[in-house]
Amino acid sequence: MVVLFKARSLIYLPSTFCFLRQPVRNRHVPDPGTLEQRLFRAVTTPVLPPIRIDPVEKRIRREERFRLQRENNPYRAFLRQKAREEFYGLADGRMLLVLFPLYHKPREFLPVRNRLFRKNLVFHSFPVSILREAAANTRWETFANSFLTDNSPNLYLFGDADPGLCGSALNILQKAPFFLLLGGVIEYRILTADQLNEFANYNVTGGLDGARSRLIGVLDEVRGRDLIRNLTAHQTDLVVSLRQHSSVVHDQRPFHFPPTYTLTSRFRWRQSASATEQLVSHEAEAFNVLGRSERVRVCIEPHQPELRRLTGAQPGDSTIDLPSAELKRIIKLLKSSVFMIKTDGDVPVFKLCDHIQNSVRENKTGVKLQQDERGKTLRMNSQIDDHMLEVRVKQAETFLDANYVVAVFIKPRRNKPVDGQTEKWKEQEDLAKTIYKIQAQRFVNAFSQIPFATVRLLERPQLNEIALVVRRTQNS
């Protein structure tokens, strides 16, 4: 029954009485979810597996369902685009270091992160599966195949591609024992941990400018060497052709080259002092062609009966074909020099001549070299700074490693002559000698830092240049 309270009295009503109002709704309204969840539910259709299937079929259906979800999920495409912009986009033309974190606590990682942040080095991360999919068919595909093969919890450090900044990052990370450097990327080039250390050392050895200067020096030397070799080869062909067409009867004297002109390292014409230097360059070129050929043709002069006997040629034959190995054996037996006459045909043509004995060679610089020695020349100014001097020392060390003898010529600073009194002139001369000794000692000390190298200072009475000769020691 229902009881109403009115004017402090109870009024009893029968149970059939009802109120004219809406009932109370206690229905549960589920949470609509986040924007990403609503987007996922709006574009996907749930796949309900059938009941009572065997485990193998269940596993196959589950893998197929996952495959369809990956292919037809637009949210995953959104994540791939986000990874390209927020991960690979930050690494375009910059430095990316890949670190593997060992066990550590957050309070240990925070100071390292702060020190890196002060150097403008920040960490960025992304799911590995998304990174692998985002790197497909891009320039980062090789990076994904190298560092993203498994789902390891790597850390990725981003910064500018600068050797000094890379060295600072490596110094900070080396003090953190819970970080293992796996490698990195410098301007789209994948480097190992050792190569990253070499890149960081560029800041000490001159940076990228120093490396470029060394590369330009090597390219200039190679270009000049190729030009000299080509000109010498053409010169040899011209000389031999003139000798063949001449009607001069050969006597029994050994064959010598006429005085010719060659090129120096500065591309200036000069007359060769002897035929030995030219013959050595021809012989090296001839041996290169001889090693690449199977059969060769040898020219036989009338004054070479021993060569005719070893080759088995007839008295009237001027040329004979034989294997290259046989010609090498004959050259070794006769101890002769060989030079090339013709290479444009099917079989290269060679000619033997008596070996010119000359134990000492001397060029226009005044540095004497032995028969088996090769020389390189470095020229610089006495006002060169310490940084570029270190670059020159590194270049000399590279030449020494290639079994060259390095001749260093330093041009001192010129002093203005003093007119008038003789005392001032003597005082200036004494001062010039003192400055010359100090500068010479500076360069001697610099090149003496090369391991297993001896530095000899050449005398220059006129004090017009500082000359050094750097050689490798015998026990090195």
Q: Indicate the DSSP class of residue 48.
A: P
CA angle 293, 348, 319 (to 5 degrees): 120
What's the confidence (pLDDT) of residue 254? 42
Output the pLDDT for position 46: 78
User: Is the predicted pLDDT of residue 17 greater than 70, yes or no?
Assistant: no
Residue 154, Cβ density class (10 Å: 0-12 exposed, 13-18 middle, ≥19 buried)? middle
Torsion sign over Cα 182, 184, 190, 193: negative
Residue 280 pLDDT greater than 50, yes or no: no
CB of 126 within 8 A of CB of 83?
yes
Res 251: pLDDT: 40
Answer yes or no: is pLDDT of 271 > 50.
Answer: no
* Domain 75-204: assigned CATH number: 3.30.70.1730
Pairing status of strand 404-411 against strand 466-472: antiparallel
Q: Is 214 in contact with 391 (CB distance < 8 Å)?
A: yes
Whose CA is closest to 187, among 215, 173, 166? 166
3-state secondary structure 355-387: CCCCCEEECCCCCEEECCCEEEEEEEECCCCHH
Domain ranges for the chain: 35-72, 75-204, 215-354, 360-472
- Which of 13-17, 204-208, 251-255 is least confident? 251-255
Between CA 378 and CA 225 the distance in angstroms is 15
pLDDT, residue 278, reads 45
pTM for this entry: 0.35
Residue labelled with tokens 């000094």: 164
Lowest mean pLDDT: which of 31-35, 147-151, 167-171, 286-290?
286-290
Helix (H, G, I), strand (E, B) or coil at 453: strand
Of 442 and 355, more confident? 442
Query: Which pLDDT score is estimated for 252?
Result: 38
Q: What are 200-245's pLDDT values in tens digits?
A: 887 666 655 666 777 777 777 776 677 677 777 777 777 766 766 6
Cα angle 177, 182, 183; round to 5 = 125
pLDDT at 354 over 60: yes
Least confident of 28-37, 167-176, 306-315, 443-452: 306-315
Per-residue pLDDT, 35 = 92
For 179, other C-beta atoms within 10 Å of its C-beta total 20
Q: Which pLDDT score, from 0 to 100, does residue 436 have?
A: 87
CATH of domain 360-472: 3.30.110.10
Percent of the chain having pLDDT more than 90?
A: 9
What's the mean pLDDT when you consider all of the chain? Answer: 77
Query: Do 229 and 282 form a contact (C-beta atoms < 8 A)?
Result: no
* 305-334 tens-digit pLDDT: 888 888 888 777 788 888 888 888 888 787
